[in-house]
Amino acid sequence: MINQQLCPFCKTPALTGCKHLAVAAEGRDFVRRCVELCHGQKQWGLLRQSRHQQGVASGEWSPEREDYTWLETAFCDEFLKQIRWFGGMEYEWRSGPNGAQAGFWVLLWSKDPQRLWWELHDEFERQAREGRPRGLGNPKSEARSPKHNSRNQSSLRL
């Protein structure tokens, strides 16, 4: 085990597990496992479909942007970090019985994992209903639109 992580709450090694370890999953499986654990498959599907349609309509859709949603860092930034039961996310290198099974695992911590999953489910529903992430705009569209930025600037006082 390289770079073994400890629980930020009780200092138990992640490999041992404790009540604060909400999920430990290989990086490629992390988002799927979070969606499954919060029982949010339907809401996640509706949210992804809604975002896809909005992106196509605005001309901002790209396969790379859609793939980015499935990265654990993007998922954490958009959905987990604003949840009050989010305790942290870390990486740990784990290896299996043979060398080919080695890889980075993503560890998600929470003081109360069940409440984290309930709140994540609620967040999926809220975002699917509203069509936008809480507190997050689209940085690409703001950067491309000088009119948008100039409208929000206030004049300097002399």
pLDDT at 115: 98
SS3 16: coil
Could you tell me the pLDDT band of residue 2, with boundaries at 50, 70 and 90? low
Contact (Cβ atoms closer than 8 angstroms) between residue 10 and residue 18: yes
Question: Which residue has better confidence, 109 or 146?
Answer: 109
Which amino acid is present at 120?
A: L
pLDDT tens, position by position, 71-115: 899 999 999 999 999 999 999 998 866 666 788 899 999 999 999
Mean pLDDT estimate for the chain: 80
Residue 54: pLDDT band with limits 50, 70, 90: confident
**Residue of higher predicted confidence among 119 and 102:** 119
Angle between helix 41-58 and 113-130 (nearest 10)? 40
Q: Where are the domains of the chain?
A: 21-140
Distance CA 34, CA 40 (A): 9
Q: Structure pTM?
A: 0.75
Phi-psi region of 131 (alpha: psi -120 to 50; beta: other; left: phi over 0): left
Amino acid type, 107:
L
Rounded Cα gap, residues 51 and 139, in angstroms: 15
Gap between the Cα atoms of 82 and 95, Å rounded: 32
The secondary element (H helix, E strand) that includes residue 105 is strand 103-109
Average pLDDT (52-69) is 74
